[in-house]
Structure 1
Amino acid sequence: MKRLKLLLPLLLAFALSGCWDKLELEEQAYTVVLGVDKGEGDLIQATFQISNPQVGSSDTGSAENEPPSDTITISAPDILSAKELANSVITRKISFSHLRTMIVSEEFAKSKFFLRIISSSMRDPEMRREVNLIVSKEKASEFIDRNKPNLETRPHKYFAFMQERWRDTGNVPYSTLNRYFTRLTEDSVFLAIYATTERTPAAPRKNEDSYKAGQIPQKNGDPVQLMGSAIFKEGKMIGTLTGEETRYVLLLRRKSLAHSFISTFPDPYDERYQVTLRMIKVGNTDISVRVRNHGTTIHVKVPLKLQLLSIPSFTDYALDTKKQEVLKKTIQSILARDSKRLVEKMQQDVKGDPFLWNLSARTQFISRETFETFNWANRFPQADVRIDFDLTLESFGKQLNPPVPQKGDESD
């Protein structure tokens, strides 16, 4: 009898289990990119870019003449109803289980419906908070249609690789739906990736990171440009930042996932040229916040190592320590000036804190209620901010001595 009691649950498990709800691979349509635009009235336009699993795989031979993806746009009250409506058009069952990229138009991101539509979509268990959020200057449907990368057959791989470049350049932020929802309060400002396929002609600039998406002087290649960031406050887009300003935001945060990137600065000994540096953030930014009744003071210290990569002026920085000090002070003054300018822009125009300094300010209070009563959103615009950069020059390239220019080189 004891053995029978032990076997009975196992027998019931086998009897009750089954595969009644299973779906084969070819029966599902995996949405890898989701675009959302503002539609007529209170409707939205949802664009589903559905990947063809056979293209780019070992089964390519059987799908030789098939496109890598299919795109469909549906008008509906929200994303989930658009998904259900699209199932009446697509022969396979639409799934968000492989969705990693959501593209929203700038017009929709600035509308009052944005937060409601995005929040309601999270009720679908297939919608994950790790989905990357990109704001396109044009309509999301146009952005998806125009994106025809030459080197990547599968669209999800293209966006995965492009979004990883923020780690190398710092020109765009790390933006996911999870970060968006955690920064909906008045205390924080959320930054999303800013992108476009349109071109806004801009004169070439010496500072290679002072562009926004669409302004990069590009010829040929993929039409998509990811540069700068979209500013969200209380869940709604209110403005944009350039790639340079985005870099400063990431540097001034306590922890920065993008800790190394290349930048150029004017050569103090010959301003016709720029020196190229690799800037490496070593350790966390030191943020000291002092809260007083008469005002709030914030002191920020950023530790950086500099690797000198290119010296077009041929100035001998490698062996002349005095010139090294002049170069270091020049870079310090430029970093302090530009970062201070960005902080003032956040205080006066945005009136929000994208640097997450509110997390350091919370340690000054004994409870969450007292911090909320302090009202950081109103105190930050009036705060006195001081920023210092602790720089260390650690290398000067593979060759110690730069070449000596020959006579006549300056006139060429």
Structure 2
Amino acid sequence: MKRLKLFFLLFPISLILVGCWDKSELEERGYVIVIGIDKSKKDHMIDVTFQVENPQVGSSSLATAPNEPPSDILTITATDILSAKELANSIVSRKIDLSQVETIIIGEAFAKSDYFHHIIASSTRDPEIRRRIIMIVSKENAREFINNNHSKLETRPHKYYSFMSDRWKDTGFVPISDLNRYFQRSSGALFLAIYATSERDERYRESSDNYKAGQVPQKEGDPVQMIGSAVLKNGKMIGVLTGEETRNSLLLREKSKTHHYIDTFIDPKMEGHRISARVGKEEHSKVKINVKTEPPEVFVTVPLKVQVLSIPSQIDYASNEKNQALLKGEIKKDLEEKISSLIKKTQKEFGAEPFVWYEEARREFWTMDEFIKYDWQKKYRDADVKVDFEITIESFGSQLKPQKTGRGD
């Protein structure tokens, strides 16, 4: 009886302790914050780059490790990401952990390969690979991109990628790009991924946002530029959009996450001058698709509100209604020309649309089988698309009329 009582006393205690056998201290783990994937010189192999963060750098414990780098970078050649992870454990003193990965860098050459999608899809079988990981396509190899990226403002690498990925909210130069959205749109529809590079191919253009990564004229500062988007279709990269084209693609979506951005337009009253304005989309775009006609018809209405910020020509637009009508017409004409060029590019060059219009087209069918049989992306190539911008000028960004200097009104 005493032994039975002792058993019932000790058994509950043993249940509490059974979960401690595989415990691991934080300092025993090496947390990877960035993964880079490149096409290897070996057939059916990839080069996987891990950037392992040093938790002591950038924290209160920096005094104990004043000369340590913020991260350790190593590249492993393997058949997939998970195999590379195991091989990395034979090099790094700490156990490699992928649960904190926030960014995955894809080299452009690998993104254009036939087995890119299979490698990415197979990696998500590991529970440590989360679908909210940000996807970035780099013009150069991912290994070179990661090694060249040394931000002057951010000591801890994961903060840099987190802050940069949030900039799409302010500019719309890059799309929302994560693994979850990639898998949702990888079949048929075009997926836009963030495009970046540390290389330079500087160009000057009149439109301040019509650049691809690497083309922005830059003299100093961080080496990496993130502007524009890599276009992926059926799990393979097929082209690149500029920052301007990316932003316009987001405007044409029914639900856009980019609410306000700064743009410049030609001054209709003074040739050679441009007017700066803040453009806002506070309401959803209206998309209507008629699949009963041949070719299908697409009608898009985009409501925009404009706040004029700068008028270098000093022409009075604030109180002159006739000038305001001219400016409103010029803004609408400028946007419609850019949108028309973008739509033709997606129809002829890409053969599919990145505007998520397939969701609206799908509502026109009773079953998914009917929609799949219709083949919306193929029909889109010849679709008749009409886009109308509803422009409202809210303000002219000044409390006083612009000061005159003797030039026209």
Give the TM-score normalised by the residue count of structure 2.
0.95
Whole-angstrom distance in 1 between the partners of 2:310 and 2:400: 12
Whole-angstrom distance in 2 between the partners of 1:180 and 1:385: 25
Distance 1:11 1:396, change over 3 A: same
What are the superposed Cα offsets for residues 22-54 of structure 1, whole Å, 9 maximum, x if unpaired? 111110000011100010211100000010001
Q: Which residue of 2 aligns with 1:148?
A: 150
What is the correspondence of 1:150-299 to structure 2 with a 5 Å cutoff?
150-186=152-188, 188-202=189-203, 204-299=204-299
Q: CA deviation at 1:144?
A: 0.6
Whole-angstrom distance in 1 between the partners of 2:231 and 2:202: 23
Q: Which residue of 2 aligns with 1:119?
A: 121
Q: CA deviation at 1:20?
A: 1.2
Root-mean-square deviation (CA, aligned residues, Å) is 1.6
Whole-angstrom distance in 2 between the partners of 1:182 and 1:286: 22
Out of 85, 88, 92, the residue aligned to residue 86 of structure 1 is 88
Structure 2: stretches of 5+ with no match in the other structure: none
Q: Which residue of 2 aligns with 1:345?
A: 345
**Structure 2: which amino acid aligns with 1:292?**
K
**Structure 2: which amino acid aligns with 1:399?**
Q
Q: Secondary structure at the match of 2:317?
A: coil
Q: CA deviation at 1:400?
A: 3.3
Q: 4+ runs of 1 displaced by more than 2 Å?
A: 7-10, 12-18
Distance 1:313 1:118, change over 3 A: same
Distance 1:154 1:286, change over 3 A: same
Would you say the 8 A contact 1:253–1:355 is kept in 2? Answer: yes
Q: CA deviation at 1:378?
A: 1.4
Would you say the 8 A contact 2:202–2:218 is kept in 1? Answer: no
Would you say the 8 A contact 2:202–2:215 is kept in 1? Answer: yes
Distance 1:62 1:336, change over 3 A: same
Residues 1:325 and 2:325 are matched in the alignment: yes
Whole-angstrom distance in 1 between the partners of 2:328 and 2:383: 28
Q: CA deviation at 1:250?
A: 0.2
Q: Which residue of 2 aligns with 1:135?
A: 137
Whole-angstrom distance in 1 between the partners of 2:376 and 2:150: 45
**Structure 2: which amino acid aligns with 1:352?**
A
Would you say the 8 A contact 1:319–1:400 is kept in 2? Answer: no
Structure 1: stretches of 5+ with no match in the other structure: none
Aligned length, in residue pairs: 401
Would you say the 8 A contact 1:279–1:304 is kept in 2? Answer: yes
More displaced stretch, 288-297 vs 121-130? 288-297
Whole-angstrom distance in 1 between the partners of 2:31 and 2:19: 24
Q: Which residue of 2 aligns with 1:335?
A: 335
Residues 1:368 and 2:368 are matched in the alignment: yes
Percent of aligned pairs sharing the same letter: 51
Give the TM-score normalised by the residue count of structure 1.
0.95
What is the correspondence of 1:294-313 to structure 2 with a 5 Å cutoff?
294-313=294-313
Distance 1:52 1:384, change over 3 A: same
Q: CA deviation at 1:165?
A: 0.6
Whole-angstrom distance in 2 between the partners of 1:12 and 1:285: 61
Distance 1:12 1:367, change over 3 A: farther
Out of 43, 46, 49, the residue aligned to residue 47 of structure 1 is 49
Distance 1:83 1:314, change over 3 A: same
Whole-angstrom distance in 2 between the partners of 1:8 and 1:303: 71
Q: Secondary structure at the match of 1:59?
A: helix
